[in-house]
Chains A and B, each alone.
Chain A
Amino acid sequence: MSGLLLIILNSLRNRRASVALSVAAIAISVVLFIGVLYVRDQAKHGFMQTVSGTDLIVGARSGPVNLLLYTVFRIGDATNNIAWQSYRDIADSPEVAWSIPLSLGDSHRGYRVLGTNLDYFRYLRYGDHQPLVFAAGGPFADLYDAVIGSDVAEALHYRLGQSIVLAHGAGNVSFVQHADKPFRVVGILKRTGTPVDRTVHVSLEAIEAIHVDWQSGLPRPGQTVSAEQARHRDLSPRLITGFLVGMKSKIGTFQMQRWINEYPDEPLLAILPGVALAQLWQVLGGMETVLQVIAGFVVVAGMLGLLITLLSTLNERRREMAVLRSVGAGPRHVFFLFVIEAMLIAASACAIAVLVLYGALWLIRPALLSATGITLTLEPLSTTESLLLGAVVMLSGVLGLIPAALAYRQSLHDGLTVRV
C-alpha cells in the first residue's frame, strides 16, 4: 500500500487548491468545535475556582445554589438575614480557623455593595489559592472608606479619592440613595476574574451607619442622622447576610456543617462550595449543550464540505481511476485511495486546527483576561478533545466511502477508455 500512498500524496498535491480549501473548511470547523470545548473547560475551571480555600458558606436556610449565588456571585438576594450573635457563636468555635462576614443589600450604579471586615482581604482566596491584591491604595480604615473591584474602577473610571454614594437595594437604578453619607474610594483591587471585581466593599459598621436612620427599607421621616452624627452611634452589626468559614482541619468540615444545619437558635444552611459550584454549573449546562450542538453542526458542515470537494472532483478523476484500474488497481485500492485521502485531509485539518487554536488562545489571552477576567491557560488537549479529533478523522474516512463507491462504479462503466 506504500505505492498507493505515494499516488495519494501526489494526487492531493496535484489538486492542492481544492484540497487546501477543504482543509481550511474542516480546520475552521474543528477550531470552533475544539475551541468551544476548550474555553468551556477553562471557564468551568475558572468558575469552580471563583472561591477557593473556603470550607463552608453559611447563610439563612434556603437552597444551596441560591446561597452560593448571593454570597459568592452577588446574584439575587437572601431569603433572610442571620443574627450577628449566631455568626459569632459559630466563628468562635475552636475548629474554625477564620471567618468572613458578608452583608449585602445595597448597590452602587448597578454594582453590589458588600459589607465585610478586614478578614475579607486577609483570608479570601480565589483561583489557585490566590489572595486579593491591591492595585492601588489599601483596605478601608475610616467608616466611610470603600474598596472597589477592578471592573468597577475601570467601568466607572474611578480612582483613589473618588467620592461615591451608595444606593439602597440592588437595582441598577435606585431612587433611594444614601446621599447624605458619601464614601471615599481608598483601595482598588487587582483583577481576579471573579465577582470580587464587580463589587464595592465597605465595612460592616458602614452598612450600619448608612441605615442608622432607616426603618423597613425607607428613611425614618424627620429623624435624619448626619454622617458625622452616625459615627457616634452604636454601629455594631446586628444582622448579616452570610459568612464564609475556613476550618483548621478539613476533617471537621462535615461535622461543623451538620452542627450549623441543626443550629438550634435559628435556621441556617451551611454548604460545601465545591459541591454547590458543581450544582450551579449543572444548571448552566443547558447553554453549554447548546454551544456544543452548534459547534457540532459546524463540524458536520465542514465534513460535508469535504464530501462535496471529493464528489466534485470525481468527474475530472475518471481518467485517474481508469489508469489505476488498467494497471491492476481493484476495488479495495480505489476505496483505500478515497478513504485515506479523506482521512489525510481531515488529519491535516485537525493538526492545523490545533495549531490555530493554540495560536489564537495565546493571542487573545491578554484581551480576554482584561475584558472578562477569564484566565486561559494553554494546556494539552483533554482526552475527550483528542478523541473528538480522532472521531473527525474516522468520520471523514467513512465519508470517503461514498465517493469511493461512486468512483468504482464509474470506473466499471468507463472501462479502460475514458473520454472526458
Chain B
Amino acid sequence: MTTISTEEAIVLRDVEFRWSQAAAPVLDIAELSIGGGEHAFLLGPSGSGKSTLLNLLAGISRPTRGEVRLLGQPVSQWRGSRRDQFRVDHIGLIFQQFNLLPYLTVLQNTLLPCRFSARRRRRAAADGDAHESAQRLLRGLGLAENLWHRRITALSVGQQQRVAAARALIGQPELIIADEPTSALDADSRDAFIRLLFEHARQSTIVFVSHDRSLAPLFRRTLPMSAFNQAVRP
C-alpha cells in the first residue's frame, strides 16, 4: 500500500527532460520542492517548459534523468499504469481549455475521477455519497441546481471553468495542478475563481501555472520557471 506524505508534496531532484532526438533538454531542474498545503504560483512565458513540467508532475511523462517524488512517492520510477492510478487517486487537474467531456452532463463530468478511482469515490462519499459530494461542490462553486443535468456545451465559459474545478476537487485530492485555468476569464471572474479554488482546496497543495504576472500577489509563493529550469536560462 502506498504511504502518502503530505509534508513534501512535490520534490524534483536533478531532473532533466528532453524529447527523443532533441539536442537540448526542455527541462533541467537541479532541485525543486513544494511543501504540503502550499499554494504555489508557477510563472513562465510560453516555451519555458511549463506544460512539460506539468506532464511530469501528473505522471503522464517520465524524466529522462533524475527523480520526481510526489507526496513522498518515487512516481518517476513507476510504470505507466501505477502512475495513472496515482494521478487519479491523488491529483486533481484543471486546464486552460477546461477539457470537459462535451457529451456528459455537469454532474457526470464532475464525478468522472470517481469512476476511475475507488479512493476518490470513497473520500467523496465520506459524508454521504459521491453524488451528494459533487452536488455540494457544484453548489459551493456557484453552479445552480438547474445546471447539473445540462450538457457542458450549454454552459458559459465561466460556468465550465467552475465545473472543471469541481471535477479536480471531488474526493479531496492532495494535489491540485491548474494549468492557466483563468486565461479565458476577465479580471473579476479570474480573482473570484482563484478565491473559490483556495476556499475549496484548503487541505490540498495547489500548483497554479500561468504566464500572467498579475496573479502572483494572490499566492504565498511564486516560482518563476527561469529560477529553477536551467534549460531556459539565457
Q: Do A and B come from one complex?
A: yes
Residues of chain A whose beta carbon lies under 8 Å from any beta carbon of chain B = 3-4, 6-7, 10-11, 13-14, 319-320, 322-323, 325-333, 412, 415-419
Contacts of B99 in A (CB 8 A): 319, 322-323, 326, 416, 418
Contact among A6, A13, A331, A417 for B81, CB-based, below 8 A: A331
Residue contact A328 to B102, C-beta cutoff 8 Å: no
Residue contact B104 to A327, C-beta cutoff 8 Å: no
Closest to B56 in A: A415
Closest to B103 in A: A14
Residue contact B58 to A326, C-beta cutoff 8 Å: yes
Known contacts A6-B108, A327-B112, A332-B81; decide if A320 and B93 are in contact (CB<8 Å). Answer: no
Q: How many angstroms between the C-alpha atoms of A299 and B117 in the bound complex?
A: 40
Residue contact A417 to B117, C-beta cutoff 8 Å: no
B138 at the interface (CB under 8 A from A): no
Contact among B51, B81, B112 for A416, CB-based, below 8 A: B51
Residue contact A328 to B100, C-beta cutoff 8 Å: no
Q: How many angstroms between the C-alpha atoms of A326 and B90 in the bound complex?
A: 12
Residue contact A330 to B95, C-beta cutoff 8 Å: no
Contacts of B93 in A (CB 8 A): 326-327, 416
* Binary A-proximity of B88-100 (CB < 8 A = 1, otherwise 0): 1100010111011
Residue contact A325 to B84, C-beta cutoff 8 Å: yes
Q: How many angstroms between the C-alpha atoms of A415 and B81 in the bound complex?
A: 15
Q: Say how far B111's CB is from chain A's closest CB, in angstroms.
A: 8
Contacts of A7 in B (CB 8 A): 101, 104, 115
* Binary A-proximity of B27-47 (CB < 8 A = 1, otherwise 0): 000000000000000000000
Contact among B103, B113, B179 for A10, CB-based, below 8 A: B103
Of A319, A412, A418, most B-chain CB atoms within 10 Å: A319
Q: How many angstroms between the C-alpha atoms of A332 and B82 in the bound complex?
A: 12
Residue contact B115 to A416, C-beta cutoff 8 Å: no
Contacts of B88 in A (CB 8 A): 327-328
Contact among B52, B81, B108 for A330, CB-based, below 8 A: B81
Closest to B61 in A: A415
Residue contact A330 to B80, C-beta cutoff 8 Å: yes
Q: List 8 A-B contacts (CB under 8 A).
A: A6-B108, A7-B104, A14-B103, A319-B99, A320-B101, A326-B58, A415-B52, A417-B179
Q: Say how far A4's CB is from chain B's closest CB, in angstroms.
A: 7
Residue contact A416 to B54, C-beta cutoff 8 Å: yes
Residue contact A328 to B89, C-beta cutoff 8 Å: yes
Q: Say how far B105's CB is from chain A's closest CB, in angstroms.
A: 9
B85 at the interface (CB under 8 A from A): yes
Residue contact B60 to A416, C-beta cutoff 8 Å: yes
Contacts of A325 in B (CB 8 A): 60, 84
Contacts of B115 in A (CB 8 A): 3-4, 6-7, 327
Residue contact B104 to A330, C-beta cutoff 8 Å: no
Of A7, A323, A418, most B-chain CB atoms within 10 Å: A323
Contacts of B179 in A (CB 8 A): 416-417
Q: Say how far A106's CB is from chain B's closest CB, in angstroms.
A: 74
Q: How many angstroms between the C-alpha atoms of A330 and B83 in the bound complex?
A: 9
B189 at the interface (CB under 8 A from A): no
Contacts of A419 in B (CB 8 A): 97
Q: How many angstroms between the C-alpha atoms of A330 and B100 in the bound complex?
A: 18
Contacts of A412 in B (CB 8 A): 60-61
Closest to A11 in B: B103
Q: How many angstroms between the C-alpha atoms of A49 and B126 in the bound complex?
A: 72
Q: Quick one: which of B51-68 are within 8 Å of A by CB?
A: 51-52, 54-55, 58, 60-61
B211 at the interface (CB under 8 A from A): no
Residue contact A416 to B58, C-beta cutoff 8 Å: yes
Residue contact B84 to A328, C-beta cutoff 8 Å: yes
Contacts of B104 in A (CB 8 A): 7, 10
Known contacts A4-B115, A6-B108, A14-B102; decide if A330 and B58 are in contact (CB<8 Å). Answer: no
Can you add 11 more A-B contacts, CB < 8 Å, to A7-B101, A14-B103? A322-B99, A323-B100, A323-B101, A325-B60, A331-B84, A415-B51, A415-B52, A416-B55, A417-B51, A417-B54, A417-B179
Residue contact B96 to A327, C-beta cutoff 8 Å: no
Residue contact B55 to A328, C-beta cutoff 8 Å: no
Q: Say how far A353's CB is from chain B's closest CB, in angstroms.
A: 26
Residue contact A328 to B117, C-beta cutoff 8 Å: yes
Contacts of A417 in B (CB 8 A): 51, 54-55, 95-96, 179
Q: How many angstroms between the C-alpha atoms of A13 and B179 in the bound complex?
A: 30
Q: How many angstroms between the C-alpha atoms of A10 and B80 in the bound complex?
A: 27
B162 at the interface (CB under 8 A from A): no
Contacts of B60 in A (CB 8 A): 325, 412, 415-416
Closest to B116 in A: A328
Residue contact A328 to B113, C-beta cutoff 8 Å: yes
Residue contact B87 to A326, C-beta cutoff 8 Å: yes
Contacts of B61 in A (CB 8 A): 412, 415
Contacts of A415 in B (CB 8 A): 51-52, 54-55, 60-61
Known contacts A4-B115, A323-B101; decide if A328 and B85 are in contact (CB<8 Å). Answer: yes
Residue contact B95 to A13, C-beta cutoff 8 Å: no
* Binary A-proximity of B119-162 (CB < 8 A = 1, otherwise 0): 00000000000000000000000000000000000000000000
Known contacts A7-B104, A10-B103, A416-B95; decide if A327 and B167 are in contact (CB<8 Å). Answer: yes
